[in-house]
Amino acid sequence: MKLKVKVLGFSEIPKLKGISGVYTLIILVRSAIRVKIGGLGKKKVERGYYAYTGSALGNGSSSLAGRISRHLRIEKRKRWHIDHLLCSKEVKIEAIVAMVTARKMECEINQHLISTLEPSIPILSFGSSDCRAGCKSHLLYLGSDNNVVSKIAEAYMQKKEGEILVFLSHQA
């Protein structure tokens, strides 16, 4: 199987309607903040890049288009840990790497990112309170490395599963 990587803008996300997969949000925190994250309590989040991995294996709001579009909205009911972080004015999704697959790979991708990128775990149990694969967190801190999008896309390619899509906030 020859893997394809497509680089697109955020405006292309609605085209993922009905497509399932796994995704990683590349998040920039512009300055350190303190944020209450549901049952995890108030946490300090340092300035820098973060990666958050999730899955979108359903239809409609549970498809890749639905999940990613929800993450990009500022106004939303705070349902998941990531919602609390993304609602801060100091936080911006810079890019998204996604893989088209019907297989549940959220933890597999997260653990692969941990082993290849060697990030720190900023908040234990963030996005992984229901994880059965032993993930300490689905939020990873990558520091100030502005080459994270390429590194995460490369890690996805190593999994050799399906088409890989890279969405950039500044792509036309």
Q: Where are the beta strands (DSSP E) in 46-135?
A: 48-56, 91-100
For residue 166, give Cα distances in angstroms to 26, 37, 149.
Answer: 10, 27, 8
- Give the pLDDT mean for 18-44: 94
Q: What is the pLDDT of residues 99-149, one digit of tens each?
A: 999 999 999 999 999 999 999 999 988 887 677 778 899 999 999 988 999
Break the chain into its structural domains and give their ranges. 5-168
The pLDDT of residue 172: 45
The pTM score is 0.93
